[in-house]
Amino acid sequence: MWIWFGLAVLALIGEVATGTFYLLLVATGLAAGGLAAVGGLGLEGQLVVCGVVVIAGLVVLRATGVLKKREVNAHRNADVNLDIGQTVMVGDWAGMRTARVWYRGASWDAMLAPGCDPIGGEQIITEVRGSQLIVQPRQPVSTSHVQG
């Protein structure tokens, strides 16, 4: 009967090492199997309890969206691409709302983000598509102060 709890602890250690919920479900099922053994169920009953708890946990976590695959758009995510949010200088926009900019020691193609006016000056990188930077003009900082 104690083998169930030992395996549950090993599954929990694996869970901590990998960070997935699947091993947590397995550990819960193994612990339930151990409790079934303590309760006096035979091996078949212990295996059924373990399997039912694992499958029920999987169904619950899928229904709540915890196990839902998180889509990460690396082209626009600053946590994935450190270029997002950086600034570049655009002297003049060419046709098709493109320009050449100097960034990180190299010349890059820059394209104006949709819905933005082609204004020269400081631009913020909002997306990186291959070797092309998608930029938008930096919003001017307001210098007006509210007096009370």
Token couple for 26: 């397995």
CATH number where 106 lies: 2.40.50.140
Residue whose entry in the numeric block shows the structure tokens 């901590």: 16
SS3 146: coil
Q: What percent of the chain has pLDDT over 70?
A: 90
- b vs e for 17-45, b when ≥16 Cβ sit within 10 Å of the residue's Cβ? eeeeebbbbbbbbbbbbbbbbeeebeeee
Residue whose entry in the numeric block shows the structure tokens 């090993």: 10
Is 145 within a domain?
no
Instruction: Please tell me the total count of domains within the chain.
Output: 2
Q: What is the mean pLDDT of residues 99-113?
A: 92
Same domain, 104 and 55: no
The Cα–Cα gap between 34 and 41 comes to 10
Question: What strands lie across the sheet with 98-103, from one edge to the other?
Answer: 87-90, 121-129, 132-137, 106-112, 98-103
Same domain, 106 and 60: no
Q: How confident is the model at residue 117 (pLDDT cuts 50, 70, 90)?
A: confident
DSSP string, 45-114: HHHHHHHHHHHHHHHHHHHHTTTPPPP--TTT-TTT-TTTT-EEEES---GGGEEEEEETTEEEEEEEPT
Is 36 within a domain?
yes
Is 10 within a domain?
yes
Is 114 within a domain?
yes
Same domain, 59 and 91: no
At 42 the pLDDT is: 93
> Domain residues for 96?
87-137
- The DSSP element (H or E) to which 126 belongs, if any, is strand 121-129
The Cα–Cα gap between 47 and 111 comes to 60
Tens-digit pLDDT profile for residues 14-56: 888 887 778 889 999 999 999 999 999 999 999 999 999 999 9
Same domain, 52 and 94: no
pTM listed for this prediction: 0.49
pLDDT above 60: residue 115: yes
Same domain, 8 and 55: yes
Domain boundary among 31, 64, 97: 64
Is 34 within a domain?
yes
